[in-house]
Structure formats: structure tokens, C-alpha cells
């Protein structure tokens, strides 16, 4: 098994969900804030309170920024997850430096980021984080501010641990990081193997569902092939034509579809005919039509840096309990209109699918360079909104010259 930081499809390391790390960091922030409050105001131990709260506030700011800029269902690569966990180690080291170093009992929390990595990330990432945690523990063992203690000596003088004892604490911490990391990785690996075997068994038990989904994938591939076919004049088109091409198949289901372009926004982008991009946009529009009560609005805008397409419907919106998981595989919530059309056309008996449609569309759009956001419209409006944004340089080919026709060969 490859231990590279970027795992190709098919390997068992699929990364952590961003939402998981955000929730765990909020838990850490709450615990750190509570500990600071208790030590400073309840126990009366003097702390560099401003510096400590500033370090905690930085983590809170990072969490808010991550939540606002990314969907919770997004899975992080090993590199992204490693940076976030490395930040947690460095933040803990900063707090320990301010509050006594290895003499502070909370030094044991160096284990937490390594344990999280061992259960979900690659062994290489876990080893690197373990080395970072050990190095930070050594540094705060050598250099630190005094351990907070009673200012007036009610509990006696502040303890001064001998260097040999601090070295023993560091050794125990390093051994714990190594042992618990390896143990957690082995347990997680066995759990992954068991889960894969169980999933395979469940799929084999339902051969009909597997066959239906395989046929659906073949249909998607045929659709992508047809979307990629075309003569040279249609291989590149303004974004307004591309959107109309995407919308056209969905205009005959009793739902009004309005496409809005900016009145004045500079030169209109020219987009290459990309089957994945067309299918992804088509799937988003189809879902909006399925759930809409009366109307779907598609608004395109662009600047010199970005191209944005927003698809909004007036339906019930995304289920609140699923909104952070939209775009993940096996998450499905079908619209009434679409379900009726499928059963009438295919004669199915109500069998649910695997929820791969939005997942495939999201994956194809992200491969074209897009970032997707799924939200519900704020009250008093109702319905769902999908925002798709590309860096303009990735898909706008208006600056490229069209290939010149070769001169006819004389007979």
C-alpha cells in the first residue's frame, strides 16, 4: 500500500471530513477556555490571561473561517488534514509554554492530534505529526513560563520539577505517542477491513440494486460521451449559450426556468465544451427542477478573476440534517417530480438509488476547477441554492485563438 500523501482513488485512506475536525476543535476550544477561567478566577492562580485567551481566540477564528469557506461534507486530503492537525499541536505548545510546559498536566493532550491522524490518515502523516508533537513537547520542556500557582503561597511554593523528572515526562509522552499511535492505526485498519467486507456483503445480497446502479453509471457514461461530441463551431461557446444548452432539456416539466446574465460585466467568457462540466451543471439544474414548486433561477456573473453560476429553486430546500453532507456518496433525497418521472419511464417499484447523482456531478465540476456551496435560502424565502464558482483562468478560453482551417490540398 502506498504511503504517499496524495492517495489515488481505490486506496483505503480517504481523509477526514472537515466537519469532524471543526467539531473536535470546538470541543478543544471549550475545554481550554474553561480551564483558563477556572485557574484564573476560581483557583486564583495568576495566568498571562491575555496571551492565553489570544491563542484560544485564534483557534476559534480559524474554525469560523473554515466553516464559512468550506462545506462540512468536504473530505480533506492528507496534506490538508496534516496542516490542520499540526496547527493544533502548535497551538497546544503555545498554551503550554505560557502555563508551565511539561509540568502542566495538560501536556498529555499532545496525544490527541496523533491519535486522530492514526485512525483516519496515512501512516506517513501520523509519523510526521508524532515527530512534531515530540519536538514541541521537548521545546516546552526546555523553555516555558512558570507553572501557575497560588500567588500568596496558600498551597506552598510552586513546585520546581528537576530536569531529570521533566526528561522522564517527555520520554513517557514520546513512548505514549508511538504506542497509542500504532495501536490506534491497527485498530482502525481492522475496522476499515471489516467495514469493507460488510459493505461488499450487503451489496452482493442486493444484486438487483447493484445491477440498476451499474446501468445508471453506463447511462451517465453514454451521456458524457454524447455531451462531448460535436463539430468544431460548438466545441467553444459563450457561457450564455452553454447555460441554455444545459437548461433546454428541463424546460418541459411545468417549471419556469429563468437564466439571468449581467447587463454590464465586461467580455463574456468563452467556455470549452467539457462533457463533465455540462453533465455536472445539468444534474444540478435537474435536481432544482425536481424540487421546485414553480420556478428555478439560474444567475451567472463574472469578473476578471471568477465565474459564478448560482442555481436557486423555490422548493422545500435541503433537509437541515443533511445539508452538511450534500455531495457525499450514499446521501439521497429525491424530489417528487423526478421520482414520478423515473417510475413512469422505467417502470420501477420505488427502489431507492445509492445517492450517487449529486456526488458524481460535484466530483466532475470540481475536476473542472469549481468550488460548490449548498445552502438554503434565508427566510422569508424558501428553497435551495447551489453556488458554483470557477477561477476564470481555468475555464475561460476567450483569449485563445481558434484553430485555423488547413488549406485544401490540390488534386
Indicate the domain borders of the chain.
18-152+160-201, 209-395
The share of the chain scoring above pLDDT 90, in percent, equals 38
- Distance, in Å, from the CA atom of 164 to the CA atom of 161, rounded to the nearest integer, reads 8
CB-neighbour burial class of residue 136 (10 A; exposed 0-12, middle 13-18, buried 19+): buried
* Residue 344, pLDDT score: 38
Least confident of 5-14, 174-183, 207-216, 223-232: 5-14
State pLDDT tens for residues 17-33. 888 899 999 999 999 99
Using CA atoms of 344, 347, 351, 356 in order, give the dihedral in degrees to the nearest 10. Answer: -70
- Nearest of 163, 116, 165, 172 to residue 142 by alpha carbon: 163
Least confident of 91-100, 249-258, 342-351, 370-379: 342-351
* Residue 131, pLDDT score: 95
Angle, nearest 10°, between helix axes 336-346 and 275-291?
110
CB-based contact 331:298 (threshold 8 Å) = no
DSSP string, 282-306: HHHHHHHHHH-SSEEEEEEEE-SSE
Least confident of 127-136, 215-224, 370-379: 215-224
Per-residue pLDDT band for 259 (boundaries 50, 70, 90) equals very high
Least confident of 55-59, 86-90, 281-285: 281-285
DSSP string, 15-26: --BHHHHHHHHH
Beta bridge partners of 258: 297
Give mean pLDDT, residues 322-348: 54
Residue 125: how many other CB atoms lie within 10 Å: 24
pLDDT over 60 at 334, yes or no:
no
CA 71 centroid distance within chain: 6
Count of CA atoms in the C-beta half-sphere (13 A) of 179: 6
State pLDDT tens for residues 121-176. 888 999 999 999 999 999 999 999 998 887 655 566 777 888 899 999 999 999 99
- Nearest of 80, 82, 76 to residue 117 by alpha carbon: 82
State pLDDT tens for residues 36-66. 999 999 888 888 999 999 999 999 999 999 9
CATH 3.40.50.2300 fits 209-395, yes or no: no
Amino acid at each position: 500500500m502506498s504511503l504517499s500523501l496524495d492517495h489515488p482513488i481505490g486506496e483505503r485512506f480517504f481523509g477526514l471530513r472537515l466537519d469532524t475536525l471543526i467539531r473536535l476543535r470546538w470541543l478543544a476550544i471549550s475545554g481550554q477556555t474553561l480551564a483558563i477561567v477556572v485557574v484564573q478566577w476560581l483557583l486564583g492562580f495568576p495566568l498571562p490571561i491575555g496571551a492565553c485567551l489570544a491563542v484560544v481566540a485564534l483557534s476559534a477564528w480559524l474554525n469560523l473561517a473554515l466553516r464559512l469557506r468550506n462545506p462540512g461534507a468536504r473530505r480533506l486530503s492528507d496534506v490538508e488534514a496534516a496542516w490542520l492537525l499540526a496547527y493544533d499541536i502548535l497551538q497546544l505548545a503555545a498554551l503550554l509554554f505560557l502555563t508551565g510546559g511539561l509540568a502542566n498536566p495538560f501536556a498529555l493532550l499532545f496525544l490527541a492530534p496523533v491519535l486522530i491522524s492514526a485512525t483516519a490518515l496515512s501512516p506517513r502523516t501520523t509519523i510526521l505529526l508524532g515527530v512534531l508533537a515530540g519536538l514541541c513537547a521537548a521545546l516546552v520542556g526546555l523553555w516555558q513560563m512558570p507553572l501557575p500557582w497560588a500567588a500568596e503561597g496558600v498551597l506552598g511554593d510552586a513546585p520546581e520539577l528537576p530536569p531529570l523528572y521533566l526528561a522522564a515526562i517527555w520520554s513517557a509522552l514520546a513512548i505514549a505517542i508511538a504506542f497509542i499511535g500504532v495501536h490506534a492505526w491497527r485498530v482502525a485498519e481492522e475496522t476499515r477491513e471489516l467495514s469493507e467486507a460488510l459493505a461488499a456483503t450487503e451489496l452482493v445480497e442486493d444484486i438487483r440494486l447493484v445491477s440498476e446502479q451499474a446501468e445508471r453509471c453506463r447511462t451517465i457514461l453514454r451521456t458524457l460521451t454524447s455531451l462531448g461530441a460535436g463539430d468544431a463551431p460548438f466545441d467553444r461557446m459563450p457561457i450564455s449559450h452553454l447555460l441554455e444548452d444545459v437548461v433546454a432539456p428541463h424546460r418541459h416539466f411545468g417549471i419556469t426556468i429563468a437564466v439571468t446574465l449581467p447587463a454590464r460585466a465586461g467580455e463574456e467568457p468563452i467556455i470549452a465544451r467539457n462533457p463533465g462540466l455540462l453533465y455536472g451543471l445539468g444534474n444540478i439544474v435537474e435536481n432544482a427542477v425536481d424540487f421546485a414548486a414553480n420556478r428555478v433561477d439560474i444567475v451567472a456573473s463574472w469578473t476578471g478573476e471568477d465565474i459564478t453560476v448560482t442555481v436557486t429553486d423555490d422548493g422545500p430546500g435541503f433537509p437541515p440534517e443533511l445539508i452538511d453532507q450534500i455531495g457525499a456518496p450514499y446521501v439521497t433525497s429525491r424530489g417528487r417530480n423526478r421520482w414520478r418521472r423515473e417510475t413512469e419511464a422505467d417502470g420501477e417499484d420505488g427502489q431507492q438509488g445509492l445517492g450517487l447523482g449529486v456526488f458524481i456531478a460535484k466530483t466532475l465540476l470540481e475536476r473542472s476547477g469549481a468550488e460548490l456551496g449548498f445552502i438554503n435560502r434565508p427566510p422569508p424565502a424558501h428553497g435551495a441554492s447551489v453556488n458554483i464558482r470557477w477561477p476564470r483562468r481555468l475555464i475561460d478560453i476567450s483569449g485563445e485563438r481558434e484553430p485555423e482551417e488547413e488549406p485544401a490540398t490540390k488534386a
